[in-house]
Structure 1
Amino acid sequence: MDRLRSGPRRDRIVEMASSNGLTSVEELSATFGVTPSTIRRDLALLTTQGKLARTYGGALSLEPHPEASLRQRLGQAHAAKRAIAAWAASQIVPGESVLLDGGSTTAALAQALTGLRHLSVSTIGLPALEVLVEAEPEDLEIVLLGGRLRPMSQSFVGPVTEQALERMTFDRAFMGADGVRADRGINEKDLEQTRLKELMMGRADHVYVLADASKIGQAPFHAWAVMPARWTLVTDSGVDPAALEPFRAKGIEVEVAPDLPVTD
Protein backbone atom coordinates (compact mmCIF):
# COMPACT_ATOMS: atom_id res chain seq x y z
CA MET A 1 0.00 0.00 0.00
CA ASP A 2 1.22 3.51 -0.76
CA ARG A 3 2.02 5.66 2.20
CA LEU A 4 -0.96 7.62 3.48
CA ARG A 5 -0.87 10.97 5.20
CA SER A 6 -1.34 10.75 8.95
CA GLY A 7 -5.07 11.62 8.96
CA PRO A 8 -6.21 9.10 6.33
CA ARG A 9 -3.83 6.51 7.79
CA ARG A 10 -5.39 6.82 11.24
CA ASP A 11 -8.89 6.61 9.77
CA ARG A 12 -7.87 3.42 8.00
CA ILE A 13 -6.42 1.99 11.24
CA VAL A 14 -9.77 2.48 12.94
CA GLU A 15 -11.57 0.77 10.03
CA MET A 16 -9.17 -2.19 10.13
CA ALA A 17 -9.50 -2.60 13.88
CA SER A 18 -13.30 -2.47 13.60
CA SER A 19 -13.43 -5.20 10.98
CA ASN A 20 -10.59 -7.45 12.15
CA GLY A 21 -10.41 -6.89 15.89
CA LEU A 22 -6.89 -7.06 17.29
CA THR A 23 -4.26 -5.53 15.00
CA SER A 24 -0.52 -5.70 15.74
CA VAL A 25 1.87 -2.78 15.49
CA GLU A 26 4.13 -4.82 13.19
CA GLU A 27 1.27 -5.59 10.80
CA LEU A 28 0.20 -1.96 10.67
CA SER A 29 3.77 -0.82 10.14
CA ALA A 30 4.18 -3.17 7.16
CA THR A 31 0.76 -2.30 5.75
CA PHE A 32 1.32 1.45 5.72
CA GLY A 33 5.07 1.49 5.06
CA VAL A 34 5.90 3.52 8.17
CA THR A 35 7.98 2.79 11.24
CA PRO A 36 6.57 1.01 14.31
CA SER A 37 7.17 4.17 16.33
CA THR A 38 4.93 6.11 13.94
CA ILE A 39 2.19 3.50 14.36
CA ARG A 40 2.55 3.67 18.16
CA ARG A 41 2.07 7.44 18.02
CA ASP A 42 -1.03 6.91 15.85
CA LEU A 43 -2.44 4.42 18.35
CA ALA A 44 -1.72 6.70 21.29
CA LEU A 45 -3.55 9.59 19.63
CA LEU A 46 -6.52 7.40 18.59
CA THR A 47 -6.77 6.04 22.13
CA THR A 48 -6.77 9.56 23.56
CA GLN A 49 -9.56 10.45 21.13
CA GLY A 50 -11.57 7.44 22.31
CA LYS A 51 -11.54 5.73 18.91
CA LEU A 52 -9.47 2.73 20.01
CA ALA A 53 -8.70 0.84 23.19
CA ARG A 54 -4.99 0.00 23.44
CA THR A 55 -3.79 -3.53 24.11
CA TYR A 56 -0.26 -4.82 24.49
CA GLY A 57 1.39 -4.61 21.07
CA GLY A 58 -1.65 -3.47 19.13
CA ALA A 59 -5.05 -1.85 19.00
CA LEU A 60 -8.57 -3.08 19.65
CA SER A 61 -11.61 -1.26 18.34
CA LEU A 62 -13.98 0.02 20.99
CA GLU A 63 -16.85 -0.94 18.69
CA PRO A 64 -15.80 -4.13 16.84
CA HIS A 65 -19.34 -4.67 15.55
CA PRO A 66 -21.06 -1.30 15.19
CA GLU A 67 -24.84 -1.51 15.27
CA ALA A 68 -26.46 -0.67 11.95
CA SER A 69 -29.22 1.92 12.08
CA LEU A 70 -32.70 1.00 10.96
CA ARG A 71 -32.28 3.26 7.93
CA GLN A 72 -29.24 1.21 6.89
CA ARG A 73 -31.03 -2.10 7.45
CA LEU A 74 -34.08 -1.05 5.46
CA GLY A 75 -31.88 -0.94 2.38
CA GLN A 76 -30.32 -4.36 2.91
CA ALA A 77 -31.52 -7.77 1.64
CA HIS A 78 -34.74 -6.22 0.39
CA ALA A 79 -35.85 -9.17 -1.76
CA ALA A 80 -35.08 -11.68 0.98
CA LYS A 81 -37.10 -9.74 3.55
CA ARG A 82 -40.07 -9.45 1.18
CA ALA A 83 -40.02 -13.21 0.66
CA ILE A 84 -39.82 -13.89 4.39
CA ALA A 85 -42.63 -11.42 5.05
CA ALA A 86 -44.87 -12.99 2.41
CA TRP A 87 -44.43 -16.44 3.93
CA ALA A 88 -45.08 -15.11 7.43
CA ALA A 89 -48.25 -13.30 6.34
CA SER A 90 -49.55 -16.53 4.80
CA GLN A 91 -49.59 -18.16 8.24
CA ILE A 92 -51.99 -15.65 9.77
CA VAL A 93 -55.66 -16.49 10.07
CA PRO A 94 -58.40 -13.80 10.03
CA GLY A 95 -59.46 -12.87 13.54
CA GLU A 96 -56.04 -13.44 15.09
CA SER A 97 -54.04 -11.12 17.31
CA VAL A 98 -50.50 -10.59 16.00
CA LEU A 99 -47.42 -9.04 17.62
CA LEU A 100 -44.66 -7.48 15.51
CA ASP A 101 -41.19 -6.85 16.85
CA GLY A 102 -39.20 -3.83 15.72
CA GLY A 103 -36.87 -4.00 12.73
CA SER A 104 -36.77 -3.92 8.96
CA THR A 105 -38.07 -7.45 8.32
CA THR A 106 -41.11 -6.95 10.54
CA ALA A 107 -41.71 -3.66 8.72
CA ALA A 108 -41.83 -5.69 5.50
CA LEU A 109 -44.31 -8.02 7.20
CA ALA A 110 -46.48 -5.04 8.16
CA GLN A 111 -46.64 -4.15 4.48
CA ALA A 112 -47.74 -7.70 3.67
CA LEU A 113 -50.51 -7.50 6.29
CA THR A 114 -52.24 -4.44 4.87
CA GLY A 115 -54.43 -6.56 2.58
CA LEU A 116 -55.67 -8.81 5.38
CA ARG A 117 -58.95 -8.32 7.21
CA HIS A 118 -60.28 -8.88 10.74
CA LEU A 119 -56.87 -8.66 12.37
CA SER A 120 -55.38 -7.06 15.47
CA VAL A 121 -51.76 -6.02 15.06
CA SER A 122 -49.62 -4.79 17.94
CA THR A 123 -46.08 -3.53 17.48
CA ILE A 124 -43.16 -1.86 19.20
CA GLY A 125 -41.73 -0.58 15.91
CA LEU A 126 -42.37 2.82 14.36
CA PRO A 127 -41.73 1.65 10.76
CA ALA A 128 -44.35 -1.10 11.07
CA LEU A 129 -46.78 1.38 12.62
CA GLU A 130 -46.26 3.89 9.81
CA VAL A 131 -46.91 1.24 7.17
CA LEU A 132 -50.12 0.07 8.83
CA VAL A 133 -51.48 3.57 9.43
CA GLU A 134 -50.71 4.73 5.90
CA ALA A 135 -52.66 1.78 4.49
CA GLU A 136 -55.80 3.06 6.27
CA PRO A 137 -57.10 -0.47 6.89
CA GLU A 138 -60.81 -0.94 7.46
CA ASP A 139 -60.77 -4.13 9.54
CA LEU A 140 -57.30 -3.84 11.07
CA GLU A 141 -56.96 -2.90 14.72
CA ILE A 142 -53.58 -1.28 15.39
CA VAL A 143 -51.99 -1.16 18.84
CA LEU A 144 -48.68 0.61 19.55
CA LEU A 145 -46.87 -0.64 22.64
CA GLY A 146 -45.30 2.60 23.79
CA GLY A 147 -42.34 3.21 26.05
CA ARG A 148 -38.92 4.75 25.58
CA LEU A 149 -37.97 5.18 21.94
CA ARG A 150 -34.66 3.60 21.00
CA PRO A 151 -33.50 5.87 18.13
CA MET A 152 -31.09 3.41 16.50
CA SER A 153 -33.77 0.77 15.98
CA GLN A 154 -36.80 3.11 15.91
CA SER A 155 -38.59 0.83 18.38
CA PHE A 156 -39.89 1.15 21.92
CA VAL A 157 -38.30 -0.54 24.93
CA GLY A 158 -38.32 -0.26 28.70
CA PRO A 159 -40.67 -0.81 31.64
CA VAL A 160 -43.66 0.95 30.06
CA THR A 161 -43.49 -1.40 27.07
CA GLU A 162 -43.07 -4.40 29.37
CA GLN A 163 -46.09 -3.42 31.48
CA ALA A 164 -48.27 -3.15 28.39
CA LEU A 165 -47.22 -6.64 27.33
CA GLU A 166 -48.25 -8.10 30.68
CA ARG A 167 -51.86 -7.19 29.91
CA MET A 168 -51.98 -8.80 26.46
CA THR A 169 -51.68 -12.15 24.71
CA PHE A 170 -51.21 -12.96 21.03
CA ASP A 171 -51.82 -15.79 18.62
CA ARG A 172 -48.53 -15.16 16.83
CA ALA A 173 -45.39 -13.15 17.53
CA PHE A 174 -42.95 -12.30 14.74
CA MET A 175 -39.48 -11.44 16.00
CA GLY A 176 -36.51 -9.74 14.39
CA ALA A 177 -32.85 -10.42 15.20
CA ASP A 178 -29.36 -9.04 14.67
CA GLY A 179 -28.19 -12.65 14.76
CA VAL A 180 -29.68 -16.03 15.65
CA ARG A 181 -28.03 -19.24 16.79
CA ALA A 182 -29.53 -22.62 17.61
CA ASP A 183 -27.59 -22.94 20.86
CA ARG A 184 -28.13 -19.42 22.23
CA GLY A 185 -31.20 -17.82 20.66
CA ILE A 186 -31.63 -14.26 19.41
CA ASN A 187 -28.65 -11.93 19.50
CA GLU A 188 -29.10 -8.17 19.99
CA LYS A 189 -27.10 -5.10 20.93
CA ASP A 190 -28.14 -4.86 24.58
CA LEU A 191 -29.89 -6.71 27.39
CA GLU A 192 -32.85 -4.33 27.45
CA GLN A 193 -33.75 -5.49 23.94
CA THR A 194 -33.29 -9.18 24.68
CA ARG A 195 -35.33 -9.02 27.88
CA LEU A 196 -38.17 -7.41 25.96
CA LYS A 197 -37.98 -10.07 23.24
CA GLU A 198 -38.27 -12.82 25.85
CA LEU A 199 -41.37 -11.15 27.29
CA MET A 200 -42.90 -10.77 23.83
CA MET A 201 -42.30 -14.41 22.96
CA GLY A 202 -43.75 -15.50 26.28
CA ARG A 203 -47.08 -13.82 25.48
CA ALA A 204 -47.65 -15.61 22.15
CA ASP A 205 -48.94 -19.07 21.23
CA HIS A 206 -46.73 -19.28 18.14
CA VAL A 207 -43.30 -17.64 17.84
CA TYR A 208 -41.47 -16.96 14.57
CA VAL A 209 -37.98 -15.51 14.19
CA LEU A 210 -37.66 -13.72 10.84
CA ALA A 211 -33.98 -13.68 9.86
CA ASP A 212 -32.47 -13.35 6.41
CA ALA A 213 -29.53 -15.58 5.48
CA SER A 214 -26.89 -13.07 6.63
CA LYS A 215 -28.07 -13.41 10.26
CA ILE A 216 -28.14 -17.20 10.56
CA GLY A 217 -25.50 -18.45 12.98
CA GLN A 218 -24.22 -14.92 13.60
CA ALA A 219 -23.47 -13.30 16.96
CA PRO A 220 -22.28 -9.70 16.47
CA PHE A 221 -23.08 -8.69 20.06
CA HIS A 222 -23.14 -10.18 23.55
CA ALA A 223 -26.79 -9.97 24.62
CA TRP A 224 -29.08 -12.98 24.10
CA ALA A 225 -32.80 -13.73 24.29
CA VAL A 226 -33.54 -17.24 25.52
CA MET A 227 -36.02 -18.98 23.24
CA PRO A 228 -39.26 -20.73 24.21
CA ALA A 229 -39.55 -24.49 23.99
CA ARG A 230 -41.10 -24.28 20.52
CA TRP A 231 -40.44 -21.71 17.82
CA THR A 232 -39.98 -21.41 14.07
CA LEU A 233 -37.02 -19.95 12.20
CA VAL A 234 -37.99 -18.31 8.91
CA THR A 235 -35.24 -17.40 6.45
CA ASP A 236 -34.71 -16.95 2.71
CA SER A 237 -33.47 -19.13 -0.13
CA GLY A 238 -30.00 -17.58 -0.04
CA VAL A 239 -29.15 -19.41 3.17
CA ASP A 240 -26.43 -22.07 3.26
CA PRO A 241 -28.29 -25.36 3.98
CA ALA A 242 -25.48 -26.41 6.33
CA ALA A 243 -26.15 -23.34 8.48
CA LEU A 244 -29.67 -24.64 9.18
CA GLU A 245 -28.60 -28.07 10.41
CA PRO A 246 -27.86 -26.98 14.02
CA PHE A 247 -31.42 -25.66 14.27
CA ARG A 248 -33.00 -28.81 12.87
CA ALA A 249 -30.79 -30.93 15.14
CA LYS A 250 -32.32 -29.20 18.16
CA GLY A 251 -35.86 -29.82 16.92
CA ILE A 252 -36.45 -26.21 15.86
CA GLU A 253 -38.85 -25.87 12.95
CA VAL A 254 -37.15 -24.24 9.96
CA GLU A 255 -38.94 -22.63 7.02
CA VAL A 256 -37.15 -21.33 3.90
CA ALA A 257 -39.37 -18.78 2.20
CA PRO A 258 -39.61 -19.16 -1.58
CA ASP A 259 -38.40 -16.29 -3.74
CA LEU A 260 -40.99 -13.81 -4.97
CA PRO A 261 -41.26 -12.69 -8.58
CA VAL A 262 -39.07 -9.73 -9.37
CA THR A 263 -41.05 -6.50 -9.66
CA ASP A 264 -40.10 -3.26 -11.38
Structure 2
Amino acid sequence: MKDDRFSAIRQHLYSSGYSSIQEIAEAVGASPATIRRDLLALEAEGAISRTHGGARIAESAGIEVAFEVREQRNLSAKRAIGDAAFETIAPHSAIFLDAGTTVLQVARRIRLNPLPLSVFTNCVTVAQVLMDVRDLKITLLGGHLRPQNASMVGSLAEEMLDRLWFDRLFLGAGAIAEDCCVYSLDEEEARLNEKMLSRATVKSLLVDSSKFGQRLTYKVARLTRDVGIITDDGLSAAWESRLREASCELNVVSSAVNDNTSAAARA
Protein backbone atom coordinates (compact mmCIF):
# COMPACT_ATOMS: atom_id res chain seq x y z
CA MET A 1 0.00 0.00 0.00
CA LYS A 2 2.79 2.43 0.89
CA ASP A 3 4.71 1.64 -2.33
CA ASP A 4 1.55 2.16 -4.38
CA ARG A 5 0.93 5.47 -2.61
CA PHE A 6 4.53 6.59 -3.14
CA SER A 7 4.22 5.80 -6.85
CA ALA A 8 0.92 7.70 -7.04
CA ILE A 9 2.47 10.73 -5.34
CA ARG A 10 5.44 10.74 -7.71
CA GLN A 11 3.21 10.43 -10.74
CA HIS A 12 0.89 13.20 -9.51
CA LEU A 13 3.80 15.57 -8.91
CA TYR A 14 5.30 14.74 -12.28
CA SER A 15 1.99 15.40 -14.07
CA SER A 16 0.86 18.42 -12.07
CA GLY A 17 4.06 20.10 -10.98
CA TYR A 18 4.09 21.78 -7.57
CA SER A 19 1.12 20.69 -5.45
CA SER A 20 -0.05 21.48 -1.95
CA ILE A 21 -0.32 18.72 0.65
CA GLN A 22 -4.10 18.93 0.41
CA GLU A 23 -4.03 18.57 -3.39
CA ILE A 24 -1.76 15.54 -3.13
CA ALA A 25 -3.95 13.99 -0.43
CA GLU A 26 -7.04 14.36 -2.60
CA ALA A 27 -5.25 12.99 -5.65
CA VAL A 28 -4.04 9.79 -3.96
CA GLY A 29 -6.87 9.29 -1.47
CA ALA A 30 -4.90 9.64 1.77
CA SER A 31 -5.00 11.95 4.77
CA PRO A 32 -2.82 15.07 4.91
CA ALA A 33 -0.99 13.62 7.92
CA THR A 34 -0.12 10.48 5.93
CA ILE A 35 1.01 12.56 2.98
CA ARG A 36 3.33 14.61 5.21
CA ARG A 37 5.01 11.41 6.39
CA ASP A 38 5.22 10.09 2.82
CA LEU A 39 6.79 13.31 1.58
CA LEU A 40 9.48 13.10 4.25
CA ALA A 41 10.35 9.57 3.08
CA LEU A 42 10.31 10.50 -0.61
CA GLU A 43 12.51 13.52 0.03
CA ALA A 44 15.01 11.27 1.83
CA GLU A 45 15.09 9.07 -1.30
CA GLY A 46 15.83 12.14 -3.45
CA ALA A 47 12.62 11.70 -5.47
CA ILE A 48 10.86 14.93 -4.42
CA SER A 49 11.61 18.32 -2.91
CA ARG A 50 9.39 19.59 -0.11
CA THR A 51 8.46 23.24 0.17
CA HIS A 52 6.30 25.03 2.72
CA GLY A 53 2.90 23.40 2.46
CA GLY A 54 3.62 21.21 -0.56
CA ALA A 55 6.14 19.44 -2.79
CA ARG A 56 7.48 19.02 -6.32
CA ILE A 57 9.55 16.43 -8.20
CA ALA A 58 13.27 16.88 -7.43
CA GLU A 59 15.05 18.42 -10.41
CA SER A 60 18.30 19.77 -8.96
CA ALA A 61 21.70 18.55 -10.22
CA GLY A 62 22.84 15.33 -8.65
CA ILE A 63 19.34 14.03 -7.89
CA GLU A 64 17.68 11.47 -10.16
CA VAL A 65 13.92 11.26 -10.40
CA ALA A 66 12.61 7.75 -9.75
CA PHE A 67 12.91 5.47 -12.79
CA GLU A 68 9.17 4.92 -13.22
CA VAL A 69 8.54 8.67 -13.20
CA ARG A 70 11.38 9.46 -15.62
CA GLU A 71 10.01 6.90 -18.05
CA GLN A 72 6.89 9.05 -18.47
CA ARG A 73 8.83 12.21 -19.36
CA ASN A 74 8.68 13.02 -23.10
CA LEU A 75 7.03 9.63 -23.56
CA SER A 76 5.69 10.23 -27.08
CA ALA A 77 9.19 11.15 -28.28
CA LYS A 78 10.73 8.14 -26.54
CA ARG A 79 8.18 5.80 -28.15
CA ALA A 80 8.84 7.25 -31.59
CA ILE A 81 12.58 6.80 -31.09
CA GLY A 82 12.00 3.25 -29.82
CA ASP A 83 9.90 2.45 -32.89
CA ALA A 84 12.64 3.70 -35.22
CA ALA A 85 15.28 1.69 -33.37
CA PHE A 86 13.14 -1.46 -33.50
CA GLU A 87 12.93 -1.23 -37.29
CA THR A 88 16.75 -1.59 -37.49
CA ILE A 89 16.86 -4.91 -35.62
CA ALA A 90 17.53 -8.02 -37.71
CA PRO A 91 16.09 -11.39 -36.59
CA HIS A 92 18.55 -13.81 -35.02
CA SER A 93 20.96 -11.02 -34.08
CA ALA A 94 22.57 -10.30 -30.70
CA ILE A 95 21.60 -6.91 -29.32
CA PHE A 96 22.39 -4.99 -26.15
CA LEU A 97 19.77 -2.77 -24.50
CA ASP A 98 21.15 -0.47 -21.83
CA ALA A 99 19.28 0.96 -18.84
CA GLY A 100 17.96 4.21 -20.34
CA THR A 101 14.24 4.95 -20.25
CA THR A 102 14.25 5.62 -24.02
CA VAL A 103 15.93 2.27 -24.66
CA LEU A 104 13.20 0.67 -22.53
CA GLN A 105 10.74 1.61 -25.27
CA VAL A 106 12.66 -0.67 -27.66
CA ALA A 107 12.10 -3.53 -25.21
CA ARG A 108 8.39 -2.72 -25.06
CA ARG A 109 8.23 -2.75 -28.86
CA ILE A 110 10.01 -6.12 -29.00
CA ARG A 111 7.43 -7.45 -26.56
CA LEU A 112 4.66 -6.13 -28.83
CA ASN A 113 6.19 -7.62 -32.01
CA PRO A 114 8.47 -10.52 -30.97
CA LEU A 115 11.27 -11.76 -33.20
CA PRO A 116 14.04 -14.29 -32.52
CA LEU A 117 16.88 -12.47 -30.74
CA SER A 118 19.63 -12.81 -28.19
CA VAL A 119 19.06 -9.84 -25.90
CA PHE A 120 21.71 -8.69 -23.43
CA THR A 121 21.01 -5.95 -20.91
CA ASN A 122 22.20 -4.44 -17.66
CA CYS A 123 18.67 -3.21 -16.89
CA VAL A 124 16.44 -5.20 -14.53
CA THR A 125 13.33 -3.50 -15.92
CA VAL A 126 14.22 -4.46 -19.51
CA ALA A 127 14.75 -8.07 -18.41
CA GLN A 128 11.37 -8.08 -16.65
CA VAL A 129 9.59 -6.66 -19.70
CA LEU A 130 11.06 -9.34 -21.99
CA MET A 131 11.51 -12.38 -19.76
CA ASP A 132 8.38 -14.26 -20.93
CA VAL A 133 8.49 -13.27 -24.61
CA ARG A 134 8.78 -16.14 -27.07
CA ASP A 135 11.87 -16.56 -29.26
CA LEU A 136 14.07 -14.45 -27.01
CA LYS A 137 17.17 -15.47 -25.13
CA ILE A 138 17.72 -12.93 -22.33
CA THR A 139 21.03 -12.37 -20.55
CA LEU A 140 21.24 -9.95 -17.62
CA LEU A 141 24.69 -8.67 -16.70
CA GLY A 142 25.98 -9.36 -13.21
CA GLY A 143 27.28 -6.70 -10.86
CA HIS A 144 25.65 -4.65 -8.15
CA LEU A 145 22.27 -3.00 -8.49
CA ARG A 146 22.00 0.74 -8.94
CA PRO A 147 18.37 1.26 -7.90
CA GLN A 148 17.99 4.79 -9.29
CA ASN A 149 18.25 3.39 -12.81
CA ALA A 150 17.35 -0.26 -12.16
CA SER A 151 20.76 -1.08 -13.61
CA MET A 152 23.58 -3.51 -12.93
CA VAL A 153 26.96 -1.77 -12.76
CA GLY A 154 30.46 -2.29 -11.40
CA SER A 155 33.53 -4.38 -12.15
CA LEU A 156 31.64 -7.67 -12.59
CA ALA A 157 29.43 -6.14 -15.27
CA GLU A 158 32.48 -4.65 -17.00
CA GLU A 159 34.35 -7.96 -16.93
CA MET A 160 31.35 -9.76 -18.42
CA LEU A 161 31.27 -7.28 -21.32
CA ASP A 162 34.88 -8.13 -22.12
CA ARG A 163 33.73 -11.63 -23.08
CA LEU A 164 30.84 -10.51 -25.30
CA TRP A 165 30.28 -8.97 -28.73
CA PHE A 166 26.99 -7.58 -30.04
CA ASP A 167 25.59 -6.96 -33.50
CA ARG A 168 23.83 -3.82 -32.23
CA LEU A 169 24.02 -1.64 -29.15
CA PHE A 170 21.15 0.63 -28.14
CA LEU A 171 22.44 3.15 -25.63
CA GLY A 172 20.63 5.94 -23.80
CA ALA A 173 22.16 9.17 -22.50
CA GLY A 174 21.67 11.32 -19.44
CA ALA A 175 22.99 14.39 -21.25
CA ILE A 176 24.82 15.52 -24.39
CA ALA A 177 26.84 18.69 -23.85
CA GLU A 178 28.07 21.37 -26.22
CA ASP A 179 31.41 19.55 -26.52
CA CYS A 180 29.50 16.71 -28.28
CA CYS A 181 30.22 14.32 -25.44
CA VAL A 182 27.76 12.02 -23.70
CA TYR A 183 27.54 12.43 -19.92
CA SER A 184 26.10 10.44 -17.01
CA LEU A 185 25.21 11.25 -13.41
CA ASP A 186 26.92 8.11 -12.10
CA GLU A 187 30.61 7.22 -12.42
CA GLU A 188 30.14 3.45 -12.63
CA GLU A 189 27.37 3.74 -15.18
CA ALA A 190 29.52 6.10 -17.29
CA ARG A 191 32.39 3.61 -17.25
CA LEU A 192 30.08 0.72 -18.18
CA ASN A 193 28.48 2.72 -21.01
CA GLU A 194 31.92 3.50 -22.42
CA LYS A 195 32.75 -0.22 -22.34
CA MET A 196 29.48 -1.04 -24.15
CA LEU A 197 30.49 1.25 -27.01
CA SER A 198 33.64 -0.81 -27.53
CA ARG A 199 31.78 -4.12 -27.76
CA ALA A 200 29.32 -3.66 -30.65
CA THR A 201 29.45 -3.61 -34.43
CA VAL A 202 26.64 -1.08 -34.85
CA LYS A 203 26.10 1.53 -32.12
CA SER A 204 22.92 3.59 -31.80
CA LEU A 205 22.40 6.37 -29.29
CA LEU A 206 18.71 6.74 -28.43
CA VAL A 207 18.13 10.14 -26.88
CA ASP A 208 15.17 12.50 -26.82
CA SER A 209 15.81 16.11 -27.79
CA SER A 210 15.55 17.45 -24.23
CA LYS A 211 18.92 15.87 -23.36
CA PHE A 212 20.91 18.01 -25.83
CA GLY A 213 22.69 21.02 -24.40
CA GLN A 214 22.78 19.43 -20.93
CA ARG A 215 25.79 18.33 -18.91
CA LEU A 216 26.16 15.86 -16.02
CA THR A 217 29.15 14.93 -13.90
CA TYR A 218 30.80 11.97 -15.63
CA LYS A 219 31.86 11.78 -19.27
CA VAL A 220 30.95 8.60 -21.16
CA ALA A 221 32.42 9.25 -24.61
CA ARG A 222 32.67 11.72 -27.45
CA LEU A 223 30.20 11.34 -30.31
CA THR A 224 31.91 9.92 -33.38
CA ARG A 225 30.86 9.04 -36.91
CA ASP A 226 30.46 5.35 -35.98
CA VAL A 227 27.74 6.14 -33.40
CA GLY A 228 24.34 6.70 -34.97
CA ILE A 229 21.89 8.99 -33.19
CA ILE A 230 18.13 8.54 -33.18
CA THR A 231 16.27 11.51 -31.71
CA ASP A 232 12.96 13.32 -32.08
CA ASP A 233 11.93 16.37 -34.07
CA GLY A 234 12.23 18.63 -31.04
CA LEU A 235 15.96 18.82 -31.81
CA SER A 236 16.96 22.40 -32.56
CA ALA A 237 18.35 23.39 -35.94
CA ALA A 238 21.57 24.48 -34.26
CA TRP A 239 22.08 21.07 -32.68
CA GLU A 240 21.18 19.25 -35.89
CA SER A 241 23.81 21.30 -37.72
CA ARG A 242 26.40 20.67 -35.00
CA LEU A 243 25.86 16.90 -35.12
CA ARG A 244 26.03 16.75 -38.90
CA GLU A 245 29.24 18.80 -38.84
CA ALA A 246 30.63 16.18 -36.45
CA SER A 247 29.81 13.53 -39.14
CA CYS A 248 27.26 11.82 -36.85
CA GLU A 249 24.70 9.65 -38.61
CA LEU A 250 21.47 11.35 -37.52
CA ASN A 251 17.92 10.01 -37.69
CA VAL A 252 15.31 12.55 -36.60
CA VAL A 253 11.86 11.01 -36.12
CA SER A 254 8.44 12.56 -35.66
CA SER A 255 7.28 12.51 -32.05
CA ALA A 256 3.64 12.13 -33.14
CA VAL A 257 2.44 8.83 -31.68
CA ASN A 258 0.02 6.37 -33.23
CA ASP A 259 -2.63 5.89 -30.56
CA ASN A 260 -3.18 2.21 -31.39
CA THR A 261 0.52 1.42 -31.12
CA SER A 262 0.82 3.35 -27.86
CA ALA A 263 -2.14 1.59 -26.31
CA ALA A 264 -0.80 -1.81 -27.31
CA ALA A 265 2.66 -0.95 -25.99
CA ARG A 266 1.17 -0.11 -22.62
CA ALA A 267 -0.63 -3.46 -22.43
Q: What is the TM-score when the length of structure 2 is the normalising length?
A: 0.70
Q: Which moved more, 1:165-174 or 1:115-124?
A: 115-124
Alignment partner of 1:132 is 2:130? yes
1:8-27 to structure 2, matched below 5 A, reads none
Cα deviation digits, residues 165-204 of structure 1 (max 9, x gap): 1111001101111112363421111221111001011000
Tell me, what secondary structure is at the counterpart of 1:226?
A: strand
**Using a 3 Å threshold, how does the CA distance of structure 1 residues 118 and 64 change in structure 2: closer, same or farther?**
closer
Task: Select 2:99's aligned residue among 102, 108, 113.
Answer: 102
Q: Distance in 1 between matches of 2:61 and 2:110?
A: 36
Letter in 2 for 1:86: D
Tell me, what secondary structure is at the counterpart of 2:156?
A: helix
- The corresponding residue for 2:257 is 260
Aligned-residue Cα RMSD (Å) equals: 1.6
Tell me, what secondary structure is at the counterpart of 2:142?
A: coil
- Highest Rg: 1 or 2? 1
- The corresponding residue for 2:121 is 123
Task: Select 1:240's aligned residue among 230, 236, 255.
Answer: 236
How much has 1:229 moved relative to structure 2?
5.2
- The corresponding residue for 2:174 is 178
Q: Distance in 2 between matches of 1:182 and 1:142?
A: 36
Contact 1:184–1:224 (Cα < 8 Å) also in 2: no
Letter in 2 for 1:124: N
- Number of residue-to-residue matches in the alignment: 199
Contact 1:182–1:250 (Cα < 8 Å) also in 2: no
Contact 1:99–1:173 (Cα < 8 Å) also in 2: yes
- Percent identity of paired positions between Structure 1 and Structure 2: 33
Q: Distance in 1 between matches of 2:212 and 2:159?
A: 31
Tell me, what secondary structure is at the counterpart of 2:148?
A: coil
**Using a 3 Å threshold, how does the CA distance of structure 1 residues 65 and 192 change in structure 2: closer, same or farther?**
closer
Q: Which moved more, 1:86-95 or 1:110-119?
A: 110-119
Alignment partner of 1:92 is 2:92? no
Alignment partner of 1:225 is 2:220? yes
Post-superposition, which runs of at least 4 consecutive aligned residues in structure 1 deviate over 3 A? none
Q: Distance in 1 between matches of 2:191 and 2:225?
A: 17
1:34-45 to structure 2, matched below 5 A, reads none
How much has 1:159 moved relative to structure 2?
0.6
Alignment partner of 1:111 is 2:108? yes
1:43-82 to structure 2, matched below 5 A, reads 64-82=61-79
Letter in 1 for 2:204: Y
Cα deviation digits, residues 101-127 of structure 1 (max 9, x gap): 102111111011122322111000111
How much has 1:64 moved relative to structure 2?
3.8
Q: Which runs of 5+ in 1 are unaligned?
A: 1-62
Tell me, what secondary structure is at the counterpart of 1:152?
A: helix
Q: What is the TM-score when the length of structure 1 is the normalising length?
A: 0.71
Letter in 1 for 2:130: L
Cα deviation digits, residues 200-237 of structure 1 (max 9, x gap): 11000011111111102211x22111145510111112
